[in-house]
Structure 1
C-alpha cells in the first residue's frame, strides 16, 4: 500500500461543500481565538510574567498547531473530492497528531499543578512557580509528548500494509490505520492502549485528585478569593472535560472501529481547540481587560 483512501472525506458533493465550509469557519475561529490569546499575553508584561498565563500561551500555541494537523487537509479533501493521502503523509499526520495531543495533556496537568500551588500554598507560589520551573514544565511536556509520539509512530511504521487501503475516517490515526495492516496487530493494540490510554486516563485521574484537593482548600479562603479561584478552576475543568473525554473514549478500549469514533475524533481535533479560547477569555476578567487595552492601543495607533 502506497496510498490511503479516507472514506470519511468521500461524501456527496453538497454535503462535502457544507462540511468543508463548517471546517474552514471552525479553523478560522481557532486561528483568531488562539492567536489573540498569544498576542495579548506577549503584549501585556503583567500577563507574560504570570506562570498561569505563560502556560496558557503555550496551550494556545499547541491548540493552534494541533488543529492545523488535520483540519486544513480535511477541508481541502472535501472541496476537491480528493480523498486520498500517501502512506508517508498518513504516518506523518499520525506522528504530529499524537505529539501535539499528548503535549496538550501534559500542559493541562501542569496548569492544574499551577492552580494547586496558587491556592494551597499561596505564600510560596512565587518561589515554587519560578520562571525556571515553568520553563521546565513546558519543556518536559514537549519532550514527554515527543517520546510518546515516536513510540506510536514506530509501532505503526514497522507493520506491513497490504490493504484494502481504505479507512473509514477523516484523517490518519492508529486505530483505523491498523485495519490496513496484513498481520496480527493484537500486540500493537495492547501497546498503544497501554501507552496512549494510560497517559490519558492517568493524567485525568491526577487532575481530578488535584482539583478535589483544591476545592477542599477553598473552604479556608475568603468569599472574594473563593469566587475568583472557582472561576479559574471551572474554566480549566471545562477544558479538561471536553479534551480528555474523547481521548479516554478512543484510546482506553480495544481497537474496534465504530461510527461514533469519527464524531468523537472531530470533537477532539476541531471543536475543543475552538472552544478553549472562548472558555479562557469569556470567563477571565484579566484576559478580557488586557484584550480591550490591546485593541484600544491598536485603534489609536491606526488613527
Structure 2
C-alpha cells in the first residue's frame, strides 16, 4: 500500500527535507504534499519506492526553498534553523549528527538551493552523482560540478564538530550552574576565547540581533539575559537538539526558549539560542532521523 511505503521511509524523507530547508514545519508541509502525490501513483507501477519518494521530496523541497529564500534574506535579526529535538543516539552517526548541527545548517544556508540539495544528497546521504542528478533534474556532469563547488564552499566555512557526549553534557551542567550563581569567571572558563553566541527572536521577542563574540562579552550577555528571563519558577531541562547538548527553559509549564551548545576540546565554542515562538511550537517532540543505507538505490 502507498501509506505503508511512505511510512516505512518517512524518517529518511524527513531528514533529507529538513536538511534542505532548515525548517521542520516546512519539511512536514513538503512531506504532506509529497504523500498526496505518492498516493495518486498506480500501485505496483514503481519498482523502487524509496528511490521514487526521495526524488519527489527533493524536488518539492527545492521548489519550496526557492520560494522562501528571499523571505529569509529579509528576516529580522539573525535567522537560525528551526531546532529539532533529537535522540542522544543520533551522535552514534557522526556524519548525521554534524549534518543537522546548527553550525553546518547555517553554512548550508549560504548555498544556492540546488547546491544545498546536491551537497545533502551526495555528501551526507551517500547518493552517487547519477542518483542525485535524477533527483534534482540535472545531468550527471552538471551535478559533479555543483557537488565540487558546494563541497569546497562548505569545507572552507564549516566549524570543527564533536558529537554530543556525557562530557559535553557535563560542561552544559556546569555552565548552567555558573549562570545561576552569577559567576562570570566560571562562565568564561567554560568557553573558548572566540566563542560565538547567536540568537533568533524573529523580531517577535527580545534577542540580540547580531552575534555576540568573545568569552567575556558572551558571559556578560548570558548573565544579563539570565537576570531578566530566568525567574524562581523557571524550570530548566537538559535535552538534545540537532545532535547537540541543549537546555530548555520553561515558564508556567510552556517552553519559552532553548539553547543548543557547540563544544569542542572541552570548551563551548558556540551557543545557539532560539527564542522565536514560531519555531518552538514543534520543539517538544523527539524526531527520528535516518540517513538510510550508504548506497540507497540504483536508478
Q: Could you say which structure has the higher helix fraction?
A: 1
Larger Rg computed on CA atoms: 1
TM-score by length of 1: 0.30
Q: Could you say which structure has the higher strand fraction?
A: 2
